[in-house]
Structure 1
């Protein structure tokens, strides 16, 4: 798999190793963006634009990892639901419901998705989304196999 397929294609399957490499790249990028924006070295709108630009590769990696687990990419929408629940204003409910809808359910979704994508192995052999996951060729060297 090429670097472009890794970041921008929703087809195929992705191994746990390459999923965790993306998570590391994403985390470093977020820390850098928020540090630069927090110190006023980067405009907040530019940092937000960069975060939005990273949504496509993040979703592509997540969908390919779901494919490796033999699940449809639509399961990735659970992450959007969790973010929406986290950002929601739940003051109309009493304390327990505020905590449940605003903190517990999103945390549960994030933990379950992280376990499913990052810990559990993919389907052995071919599944409905293609052949077994191949490693990403990060440096563009020809792969003579």
Structure 2
């Protein structure tokens, strides 16, 4: 949960680097919260067939849009890539697979053009 809250607090920071642990824990908690909210939407009747999304899950998706983008760009920076690589996700299927592969790669060792390696900075889990 620490990593999820760290990303939310750092939601407007598109500079620097984010290690794999920060990114993937954010994705995990994001997925779990979205599943719970979707279930609540379905049970309470807040799900809209017309729009294909529920009120709570839609509001949550808007809430985490900017933090998700920011942590993805910082994660790309950690692998030595520019944040513009996030646009590869606009290519159906293949784009997402490429982006997932980038998210799995290890950090670039040492300092790169985006800043020092976050693994070198002690962070309490």
Task: Tell me the TM-score range normalised by the shorter chain.
Answer: 0.7 to 0.9
Q: CA RMSD in A?
A: 2.3
Extract unaligned runs of 5+ from structure 1.
83-105, 139-145
In the TM superposition, structure 1's runs of 4+ consecutive aligned residues that sit over 4 Å from their partners are 135-138
Aligned to 1:121: 106
Q: Of 14, 17, 21, which aligns to 2:25?
A: 21
> How far apart, in 2, do the equivalents of 1:18 and 1:78 lie?
21
1:40-55 aligned at under 5 Å gives the runs: 40=44, 42=46, 44-55=54-65
- Taking structure 1 as the reference length, the TM-score comes to 0.67
Could you say which residue in structure 2 is the equivalent of 1:91? none
CA contact (8 A) 2:76 2:82 kept: yes
- Any stretches of 5+ residues in structure 2 without a counterpart? 48-53
Please report the TM-score for the alignment, with normalisation by the length of structure 2: 0.77
1:112 aligns with 2:66: no
Q: Which has the larger radius of gyration?
A: 1
**Residue pair 2:34, 2:57 contacting (<8 A) in 1 also:** no
Alpha-carbon distance in 1 for matches of 2:122, 2:67: 17
Number of residue-to-residue matches in the alignment: 112
Q: What SS does the aligned partner of 1:39 have? A: helix
